């Protein structure tokens, strides 16, 4: 029997995880990544799928226990946990430094079986890329889906055309995985009438900078329609992120996003000013945040499966964007492991993933709306309610992940 073939369009974290998972299920996999030289500082977050790639700039990623279990199913658990900086306690704060709630890594272990692992995206992507077969990753290969194919036994394969500066090479495959991000061309091809992701009401900045000399605890700080987070990484640097309620499409007047961050956050508590003083302005990424406007009809059509931001973009407030893409990849590989009716396997993938991911989308968006409060009375109410709830329920900050971080991958068949 001929080996089944899969084309993964998109070399981000979800696409690479899908490629590794499908390869381990016996598929012959090719990853088609449009960028010629993946860059850890790119706005798309794509990077160094090539092992040993540089790690300047870029951003971090938080992997909750659910994503760690999914990666454990691929044999990556120990390697992923080794990426983590020791995280003991953290805090939810106000801009003046007043702590509203304490976040305890030990509590996450008790509740979900493990703490959140925060790593550099570059490191995770290099790890996944290193597990692909030689030649499986093609960079500089912008792919266009031209035929979704027929998943029935003996049905026509899916067809993809590659624009790599040549004559438009055509590839066929038993399965195409659309992992091409929030502006997914694959999604538009299979569901042309589906609404595009909508603006969530805020823009986000991310960067990695040297750690300040004065120590600090990991924290997230909520202000007037804005927030800031600072999380130490294993290599001694710090991953910082910020959001602010602004109209879409904005940019710093002179292109200096660090100056914009200084204007908005420069008088917040330590280590915010120190991190802004240390970061290279060119290393600051800025992106408008978008979220799914509506649930898609399915996560598949024909011989095409969608995953990650291509099908369920979400706000970052539960830290689940990358985690859910990793879950998608492992479930897809499990569903399609057996030689059989691919249409039935992809329908099973949709049944398992669509309700869960759209629930996470909605829950994340609800939390995000709280961060947009600007008026002084509303913020005072938010702070008082958070502090009171934290005193009564010390694990309050973790409850938002109930039913999410305790997920387990399907058992191998």
pLDDT score of 40:
39
363 and 400 in contact (C-beta within 8 Å)?
A: yes
- How many whole angstroms separate alpha carbon 101 and alpha carbon 383? 10
Question: Strand, helix or coil at 198?
Answer: strand
Identify the CA nearest to 16 among candidates 128, 121, 120.
128
62 and 117 in contact (C-beta within 8 Å)?
A: yes
Phi, psi of 354 (to 5 degrees): -65, -55
305 and 349 in contact (C-beta within 8 Å)?
A: yes
Taken in order 221, 182, 4, 346, is the CA torsion positive or negative?
positive
Cα angle at 51 between 50 and 52, to 5 degrees? 115
pLDDT score of 393:
67
Taken in order 276, 278, 282, 288, is the CA torsion positive or negative?
negative
pLDDT score of 276:
98
Query: Could you tell me which residues are beta bridge partners of residue 117?
Result: 63
pLDDT score of 303:
98
52: left (phi over 0), alpha (psi -120 to 50) or beta: left
277 and 268 in contact (C-beta within 8 Å)?
A: no
42 and 57 in contact (C-beta within 8 Å)?
A: no
Pairing of strands 175-178, 304-306: parallel
- How many whole angstroms separate alpha carbon 88 and alpha carbon 7? 41
What pTM did the predictor assign?
0.92
- How many whole angstroms separate alpha carbon 171 and alpha carbon 178? 15
Measure CA 107 to chain center.
24
Across the beta sheet with 99-104, the strand order is: 99-104, 89-93, 219-222, 226-232, 237-244, 198-210, 285-291
Residues 6+ away with beta carbon under 8 Å from 45: 12, 13, 58, 59, 121
245 vs 1, 201, 320, 367, CA distance in Å? 56, 6, 21, 14
User: Tens digit of pLDDT per residue, the chain (413 long)?
Assistant: 589 999 999 999 999 999 999 999 999 999 999 987 554 333 344 433 333 333 345 788 989 999 999 999 999 888 888 887 766 678 999 999 999 988 877 777 777 777 788 889 989 999 999 999 999 999 999 999 999 999 999 999 999 999 866 678 999 999 999 999 999 999 999 999 999 999 999 999 999 999 999 999 999 999 999 999 999 998 889 999 999 999 999 999 888 999 999 999 999 999 999 999 999 999 999 999 999 999 999 999 999 999 999 999 999 999 999 999 999 999 999 999 888 899 999 999 999 999 999 999 999 999 999 999 999 999 999 999 888 877 776 666 677 788 898 999 997 53
Cα angle at 312 between 354 and 105, to 5 degrees? 95
Across the beta sheet with 169-173, the strand order is: 142-147, 158-163, 169-173
């Amino acid at each position: 029997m001929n080996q089944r073939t899969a084309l993964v369009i998109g070399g981000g974290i979800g696409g690479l995880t899908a490629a590794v998972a499908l390869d381990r299920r016996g598929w012959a996999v090719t990853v088609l990544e449009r960028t010629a030289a993946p860059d850890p500082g790119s706005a798309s977050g794509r990077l160094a799928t090539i092992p040993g790639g540089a790690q300047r700039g870029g951003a971090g990623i938080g992997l909750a226990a659910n994503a760690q279990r999914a990666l454990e199913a691929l044999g990556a658990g120990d390697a992923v946990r080794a990426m983590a900086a020791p995280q003991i306690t953290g805090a939810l704060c106000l801009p003046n430094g007043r702590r509203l709630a304490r976040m305890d890594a030990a509590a996450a272990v008790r509740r979900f079986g493990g703490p959140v692992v925060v790593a550099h995206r570059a490191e995770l992507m290099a790890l996944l890329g290193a597990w692909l077969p030689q030649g499986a990753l093609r960079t500089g290969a912008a792919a266009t889906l031209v035929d979704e194919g027929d998943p029935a036994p003996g049905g026509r394969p899916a067809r993809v055309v590659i624009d790599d500066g040549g004559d438009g090479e055509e590839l066929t495959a038993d399965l195409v995985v659309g992992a091409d991000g929030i502006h997914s061309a694959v999604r538009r091809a299979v569901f042309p009438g589906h609404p595009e992701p909508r603006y969530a009401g805020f823009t986000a900045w991310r960067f990695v900078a040297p750690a300040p000399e004065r120590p600090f605890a990991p924290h997230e700080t909520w202000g007037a329609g804005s927030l800031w987070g600072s999380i130490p990484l294993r290599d001694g640097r710090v991953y910082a992120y910020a959001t602010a309620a602004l109209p879409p499409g904005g940019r710093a007047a002179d292109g200096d996003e660090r100056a914009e961050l200084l204007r908005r956050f420069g008088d917040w508590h330590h280590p915010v000013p120190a991190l802004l003083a240390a970061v290279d302005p060119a290393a600051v990424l800025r992106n408008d945040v978008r979220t799914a406007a509506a649930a898609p009809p399915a996560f598949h059509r024909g011989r095409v499966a969608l995953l990650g931001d291509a099908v369920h973009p979400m706000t970052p407030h539960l830290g689940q964007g990358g985690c859910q893409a990793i879950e998608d990849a492992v479930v897809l590989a499990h569903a399609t492991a057996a030689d059989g009716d691919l249409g039935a396997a992809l329908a099973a993938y949709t049944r398992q993933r669509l309700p869960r991911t759209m629930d996470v989308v909605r829950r994340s968006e609800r939390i995000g709306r709280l961060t947009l409060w600007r008026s002084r009375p509303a913020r005072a109410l938010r702070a008082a309610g958070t502090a009171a709830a934290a005193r009564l329920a010390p694990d309050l900050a973790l409850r938002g992940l109930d039913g999410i971080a305790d997920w387990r991958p399907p058992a191998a068949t």
